[in-house]
Structure 1
Amino acid sequence: MTIIAIKHQLMQFFSDVSLQKMALRCGFIQRVRNIEPHTLILSLITALSSGKVTSIAQLHQKFNGLCPDEKQHVSYRPFYNQLRKAAFVEFVKILVRFAMAQWAEKHLVLPKKLAKFQNVILQDGSSFKVHSALADVFPCRFQATAAAVECHMTLSLLTQSPVKMAVTADTASERTHLPIPATLHDQLLLADAGYVDFEYFEQLSRSGGSFIVRGGKSLNPQIIRARNGQGKILSKLSDKPLKSVTRRTNRSEVLDLICRRNGYEFRLIRRWFAEEKRFCLWLTNLSVEEFTANDIMDIYRCRWQIELLFKELKSHTNWHRFTTRKETLVTGLIWLSLLALLLRRSLARRLFPAVSLLKAAQNTEIWLKPIIENLLQRAWSETCFWLEKAKVYLSQNAFKTPQRKSSKNKTLDACFERLNS
């Protein structure tokens, strides 16, 4: 995308008129006052992207510091009252949904092995503790922590951008936030062990979708057919429960099994990790003819991209730094962190496609803050200058560095290379 196209998209998204209309429609504002939606949202994005803000007071200081006009400066109390509104959460959610729709672009070409799928969908959740006063609203699963939230994320591998998020109490079931099976026709779902749900897998298969989900230790289905990692048939394992096949009875490092549980047949890959002295399981409905056991394990490694997104949110977007007692403030700031990440990632990738997202997130004060300050000043004639300057900086200072030999095989590029071979 050209610099001019990026400028027009920013002007459209952060338009005073459109932001005010959305804020009025959802009830966030009744009339325009000193705290304009345009200034508020951009100042909060700047503050959250810096990674150094730990209190609402600091957000207030950032707001006043970034206001184009000193007459718009406000005291702490009215600023705080605006952020604690329930309508503030709805307003930010609307902006996030618009950002997900408008800024999503294909940044990856799927390898040959995955060409049959329209998309690869990654699903995961991440939790962090909040103020103990919120224990009734956000109870935690663990006794050591009184209150915690869980953020359920659905991410597209093609765009490497979230397509859906939900914020719940830590005790909420992860499985209820899986994508609806009918929406995954001709798509592949990758998920962690917390999402094992055989009824869901059956519905997904009937809907024309595919899945690879890591299995838990407690799984013990009946083996129907068995092969080792090289495809050799192991007839002695047929009709045995999975847990009866131990390292003593079978020395194969990888087992490729067709299993049955309550009448539902599925494929299960089991690998022995000698260094950790444990088995790891993957469940899938992908066929043996099209995908080897090694293919399944390589494809599942792509799920690490959603873990990297959570790490970026927590480490570089202030996702767990606020100790407020207000539910709406906690929820609103979580959604705002996601909006800040969407803007940062979208701009970085469009300005420099080979960008290291980690390096871009670590240096927002240098390349992103001037762009946002330009948007706050509404100096549209200078926007292209700051975008071009950010492009030069990212291309010189935020390029991907070669991985160490020990880590290279685990990267997304290495997985794609193996799946293309």
Structure 2
Amino acid sequence: MALIHGKINPHEIENVLTKMFSPEWLRETAAKVGYVQRNRKIDPVTFFWVLVLGFGTGLQRTIASLRRAYETASAETLVPSSFYDRFNKKLIAFLKACLAHGIVELAKHVSLTLSDKLKGFKDLMVADGSIVRLHDNLAAQFPGARGKAELKIHTVIGLTSNKKSIAIYPGKTADIKTMRIGPWVKDNILLFDLGYFKYELFSRIRKNKGYFVSRFKQSANPTIVSVLHAYRGNPVEKAQGGPPPA
């Protein structure tokens, strides 16, 4: 990706996004999920980009402001109700399809491979969650932890494969409750942050013959039971308060 004065070229970002979500793909997908049944004033391509690019961190946008942005981008004048009616369950299906497509496209460009030290494992799986602020009117369906209405998107993505999973929860849902451990973790290394730190989770990963990497909580008091690498001296005894190595 090209850089301008040490920064990413915005035109390069635009090219990548428009290639990932081409007008043909967006219109075909909108028709496939039933979001668009026949040609109308509201074009799914313009609507998608206005909706996606109309939000950002710390921004408060209303549907009315999005309608005005759409009218500017499309050079069309819309009756407010015709725009508001587009926010329905079929729009959710359309955006879910777009999200899944974006993740698949990003995975295609992954060129990471596990090092020789990790060649005994199938994959390195990264788990994390993101919070999206919602309109306060959605607080009953998606109560938040820091705001009235929030959505938590939990993802698990394989860095060397196309394996992935996406799940949506209310924003106040604890990270640990979004992790579903099963046979899929076998021979994989699962990487996550302290939000998922729980010994019960570690036990489930082990029972399914998987592995994990996590930082320790400050309150943790681990006991070293084995060392898988040869070191000079006796670092295990030193770490446990034993005599220093000779």
Note whether the superposition's TM-score is higher than 0.5: yes
Give the corresponding residue for 2:121. Answer: 117
How much has 1:135 moved relative to structure 2? 3.0
1:46 Cα deviation after fit: 4.3
CA distance in 1, matches of 2:106, 2:42: 26
Bigger relative contact order, structure 1 or 2 (CA pairs below 8 A, ≥6 apart): 1
Q: Which amino acid aligns with 2:103?
A: M
CA RMSD between the two structures: 4.2
Count of residue pairs brought into register by the alignment: 226
1:61 aligns with 2:68: yes
1:30-57 Cα deviation digits (max 9, x unpaired): 4321112222223334444799773333
Q: Could you say what secondary structure the match of 1:165 adopts?
A: strand
Q: Give how far 1:87 is off.
A: 1.6
Match runs of 1:243-322 below 5 Å: 250=241
- Paired residue secondary structure (1:211): strand
- Counterpart check, 1:98 vs 2:105: no
Give the match for residue 334 of structure 1.
none
User: Structure 1: 5+ residue runs without aligned partners?
Assistant: 2-6, 238-249, 253-421
Q: Which residue of 2 aligns with 1:240?
A: none
Q: Does 1:88 align with 2:91?
A: yes
Contact 1:130–1:149 (CA under 8 A) maintained in structure 2: yes
Aligned-partner residue type, residue 148 of structure 1: E
Q: Which amino acid aligns with 1:80?
A: Y
1:88 CA displacement: 0.7
1:138 equivalent in structure 2 = 142
For the residues of structure 2 that align with 1:189 and 1:126, how far apart are their CA atoms?
Answer: 18
Give the secondary-structure state (helix, strand or coil) at the position aligned to 2:190: strand
Instruction: Work out which of the residue numbers 35, 43, 47 in structure 1 matches 2:50.
Output: 43
**Residue 201 (structure 2) pairs with residue 194 (structure 1):** no
**Alignment-derived partner of residue 177 in structure 1:** 178
- Judged with a 3 Å threshold, the aligned counterparts in structure 2 of structure 1 residues 179 and 116 are, in CA distance, closer, same or farther, namely farther
Cross-structure match for 2:153: 151
State the shift of 1:91 in Å.
0.8
Q: Tell me the amino acid that sits aligned with residue 131 of structure 2.
A: S
TM-score for the superposition, normalised by structure 1: 0.44
Q: Give the 3-state SS of the residue equivalent to 2:172 in structure 1.
A: coil
How far apart, CA to CA, are the structure 2 residues paired with 1:122 and 1:47?
A: 29
**TM-score (normalised: structure 2):** 0.68
- Unaligned runs of 5+ residues in structure 2 are 2-14
Q: In the alignment, does 2:40 pair up with 1:33? A: yes
SS at match of 2:85: helix
Cα distance in 1 for residues equivalent to 2:175 and 2:34: 31
How many angstroms does 1:93 deviate by? 0.3
* 1:123-147 superposed Cα distances (whole Å, 9 cap, x missing partner): 12243654444332222346xx444
Of 118-127 and 223-232, more deviation after overlay is shown by 223-232
Q: Secondary structure at the match of 2:202?
A: helix
Shift of 1:90: 1.2
CA shift in 2, pair 1:146/1:10, >3 Å? closer
1:343-371 per-position Cα deviation (integer Å, ceiling 9, x unaligned): xxxxxxxxxxxxxxxxxxxxxxxxxxxxx
SS of structure 2 residue aligned to 1:93: helix
Write the distance in 1 (CA, Å) between the matches of 2:42 and 2:235.
69
Q: Distance in 2 between matches of 1:251 and 1:235?
A: 5
Query: Which whole-Å CA distance do the structure 2 matches of 1:99 and 1:90 have between them?
Result: 14
Identity %: 24
